[in-house]
A = this chain, B = another copy of it.
Amino acid sequence: MGVGKRLLVVAACILAAPAAPGAFAQDGGNVSSKSQSCLMCHKRATPNIVASWSRSRMAQVTPAEALKKPEPQRRISVDKAPEGMAESVVGCAECHTMKPDSHGDSFAHQGFEVHTVVSPQDCAACHPVEQQQFAQNIMHEAYGNLQDNAVYADLVKAANGPLSFAGRKLSQKAPDARTNADSCLFCHGTRLEVEEMASRDTDFGPMEFPVISGWPNQGVGRINPDGSKGSCSACHSRHQFAIEMARKPYTCGQCHKGPDVPAYKVYKVSKHSNIVDSLAQSGDWDFSAVPWTVGEDFTAPTCATCHVSKVASPDGRIRAERTHRMNDRLGWRIFGLIYAHAHPKSPDTAKIENKNGLPLPTALDGTPASEYLISGKEREERIGAMKAVCGSCHSGSWVDGHFERFAHTIETTNNQTRVATEIMQEAWKQGAASAADSLFNEALERRWVEQWLFYGNSVRFASAMMGADYGVFANGRWEESKNPHAMLEGLLQKLKAAEK
């Protein structure tokens, strides 16, 4: 579009959008002229995107100002602002027109080359350290870890595939991309690809926009049109990007709530959460301070406190460094696949191979695929880093007692998984189920999946975060003990029926 046509549309915007009562303070201030062009129409077209952004720190502080803050208060991790971006606040154009050539979804829009999908690579212009840490986070690989692992892909199929029934038999096809996008990949991230350009009616007449398959999505491991992975807005919700939001447990709860990974639910019955829920609204907690000072800004932890945030003591000492590789303070991976195990060395878990030749971190008998997993030494170091956070509020004997009990629970839950697996193996051996087609598609196999994916995990999360209900009756030890009995009963019936 030529400048002439562009001016025409901008003029239409001016005519269409009278001075809004809620006009935000940044109008015409430190907002770049490019972003002002965006705002002119988008205040009308998508008013809350503008409003949310105008409440953000990025709309209020220029990179140059941000760089004046000394460590450890600094929130930006470059030494100097990106070329040409120092003196304007970070607005629409700064992100959505950054490096247009690298973005497969860039398109001509009102005279600019705009891309819909802002990627971690864009955010890294000012926050490279965070992006690099996140690239080491297992979530960064969440797409491939699920889709490129034949075992997990088969589990996805068992959940999502369309069924059909004929001749007293059920069969299941592979799920299509939209179904996966609406389920597993909602959190894991979709693959975004521009399919075509299409015309769309807008407040300002028809315009051309890209149609992107897999869109919308904000999954942590999203494959972006610029080839990068992840989505910062998974946790730092657009367009306010409030650090207080990422620090509140609701953010983690978006993806860590189901029976497979009930971290949020477990947290909510913990004393930690009780204190947060009861006292954080009292007005003297600050969820935005950097660093985050225990005893001053808050008196009980959220998910971020223990796993991500830069936590300081009131005397200014840093108790824990900020990390976006979120298992830096985690020794064990308690999400059992199929047993709990030491964390994988690499975030890319699809390349792990256990002794059975399967891409799983543990074998069916529980043997860890040790060469792919962190050493006992590193495991203890990570637990030590976590204990430093615990120590803000708990004595050493408390903390050690907790971690010893937790380690014991990892052992005992792995035992219950082993027993269920032995029943399953007996079923496979006796022909009462078939492992040949899939490990997960039959009724008995599905019960077995729940043993480790629901019950083992629930008990371990409960132990890790002291959320007792999930350790007993809420998908906890009660189910963990009941399920093998139900599995065995099912197996015996099948064997008896086959006998005759």
Q: Hey, which bits of chain A sit against chain B, CB under 8 A?
A: 17-18, 20-23, 43-52, 55, 116, 158-165, 168, 170, 172, 176, 178-179, 181-184, 186-187, 200-202, 209-212, 215-216, 218, 237, 240, 242, 244-245, 248, 250-251, 253-255, 257-260, 268-271, 273-275, 277-279, 281-282, 284, 293-296, 299, 313-316, 391-398, 400-402, 404-406, 408-409, 412, 415-416, 419, 422-423, 426, 441-443, 446, 453-454, 459, 462-463, 466, 468-474, 476-478, 481-482, 484-486, 488-493, 496-497, 500
- The one of B18, B268, B441, B488 in contact with A168, judged by C-beta atoms closer than 8 angstroms, is B488
Within the complex, the shortest CB–CB distance from A406 to chain B, in Å, comes to 8
Complex alpha-carbon distance, A271 and B235, angstroms = 9
A49 engages B393 (CB within 8 Å): yes
B21 engages A296 (CB within 8 Å): yes
- Majority SS at the chain A contact face: helix
Which among A46, A181, A260 has the highest number of chain B CB atoms within 10 Å? A46
Within the complex, the shortest CB–CB distance from A500 to chain B, in Å, comes to 7
Complex alpha-carbon distance, A468 and B187, angstroms = 7
A472 engages B278 (CB within 8 Å): no
Known: A215-B397, A253-B269. 17 other contacts (CB 8 A): A44-B315, A46-B394, A48-B294, A48-B393, A158-B481, A163-B419, A164-B419, A165-B423, A181-B405, A212-B401, A216-B394, A240-B279, A244-B282, A259-B474, A260-B473, A441-B485, A442-B485
A463 engages B182 (CB within 8 Å): yes
Q: In the complex, which residues of chain B have a beta carbon less than 8 angstroms from the beta carbon of A405?
A: 178, 181-182
Which among A48, A50, A184, A187 has the highest number of chain B CB atoms within 10 Å? A48
A443 engages B473 (CB within 8 Å): no
Q: In the complex, which residues of chain B have a beta carbon less than 8 angstroms from the beta carbon of A248?
A: 277-278
A274 engages B296 (CB within 8 Å): no
A242 engages B279 (CB within 8 Å): yes
A412 engages B159 (CB within 8 Å): no
Within the complex, the shortest CB–CB distance from A337 to chain B, in Å, comes to 15
Please, could you name 5 A-B residue pairs with CB atoms under 8 Å apart, sorted by A? A163-B481, A245-B275, A253-B274, A259-B474, A500-B500
A250 engages B278 (CB within 8 Å): yes
A254 engages B295 (CB within 8 Å): no
Q: In the complex, which residues of chain B have a beta carbon less than 8 angstroms from the beta carbon of A271?
A: 218, 237, 254
Q: In the complex, which residues of chain B have a beta carbon less than 8 angstroms from the beta carbon of A170?
A: 419, 484-485, 488
A250 engages B237 (CB within 8 Å): no
B481 engages A257 (CB within 8 Å): no
Within the complex, the shortest CB–CB distance from A297 to chain B, in Å, comes to 9
- The one of B20, B401, B442 in contact with A315, judged by C-beta atoms closer than 8 angstroms, is B20
Complex alpha-carbon distance, A279 and B21, angstroms = 22
Complex alpha-carbon distance, A273 and B254, angstroms = 9
Within the complex, the shortest CB–CB distance from A380 to chain B, in Å, comes to 14
